[in-house]
A = this chain, B = another copy of it.
Amino acid sequence: MLKKIVLTGAAGRLGSILRAPLAAMCDDLLCTDIVEDIADLPANASYARADIADYESVAALMEGVEMVVHFGAHVDEGPFEQLLGPNFVGSYNVWESAWKAGARRIVYASSIHAVGMHKRQDFIGLDAPHAPDTFYGLAKCFTEDLGKMYWSKRGLESVHLRILSCDTVQNARMLGTWLSDGDLLRLVARAIDTPTTGFSIVYGVSDNDRCPVDNAKASHLGYRPQDNAEIYAAQILATEGAGDPTDRAQMHHGGPFAAVPLGQGGATAAAKGND
Binding site for B on A (CB under 8 A): 1, 80, 84, 88-89, 92, 96, 104, 117, 119-123, 127, 129-134, 137-138, 141-142, 145-146, 148-150, 152-155, 157, 172, 175-176, 193-198, 200, 208-214, 216-224, 230, 233, 237-238, 240-247, 250-251, 261-262
Contact = CB atoms under 8 A, between A and B. Distances in A.
Give how many copies assemble into the complex: 6
A69 to B, nearest CB: 16
B148 A131 contact: yes
B216 A212 contact: no
Contact of A138 (B149, B208, B224): B149
A153 to B, nearest CB: 5
A221 B210 CA distance: 6
A203 to B, nearest CB: 12
15 contacts: A121-B197, A129-B129, A132-B149, A133-B153, A138-B142, A142-B145, A176-B222, A194-B210, A196-B245, A196-B251, A208-B222, A209-B222, A210-B219, A210-B220, A210-B221
Nearest to A234: B193
Given A142-B142, A220-B212, A222-B230, A198 B262 contact: no
Contact of A198 (B121, B196, B198, B219): B121
A148 B132 contact: yes
Contacts of A176: 220, 222
Contact of A245 (B1, B130, B145, B198): B198
B130 A145 contact: yes
A117 B219 contact: no
A218 B212 CA distance: 9
